[in-house]
Amino acid sequence: MYIAIELWKESGLSQKKYCKQNHLSLSTFRYWQKKYQKDKSGNDHNTAQSFIPVHIPQSIDTSIQVVNPEYITITYPNGIKVNCPVSIHIEQLHTLIKI
């Protein structure tokens, strides 16, 4: 949800209008915005300049297959996949991985 907060900030829209256009609950959006602000204010280091650790379980095939070099695909344990452009801002990528 943090990515939605960042996209809203970039949009210049009011929260209400952004939520309506993106089919989001305004109360849920506001809850996550408060959480986002709290996390950002308590962050002692600049995440844009730090690496995000990626852990690969030993039991999976570690061969790499490039499907589309313009996108990064994140697959969550529940099977949901998110495709992101390789140009995604590191903080937005961190937010997607952290969820």
Domain ranges of the chain: 1-46, 68-99
pTM, entire model = 0.43
Q: What is the mean pLDDT of residues 41-67?
A: 57
Q: Which residues contact 24 (CB under 8 A, 6 or more apart)?
A: 4, 18
Split at pLDDT 50, 70, 90, the class of 14 is: very high
d(CA 68, CA 72): 8
What is the percentage of the chain residues whose pLDDT exceeds 90?
9
d(CA 68, CA 86): 10
Split at pLDDT 50, 70, 90, the class of 62 is: very low
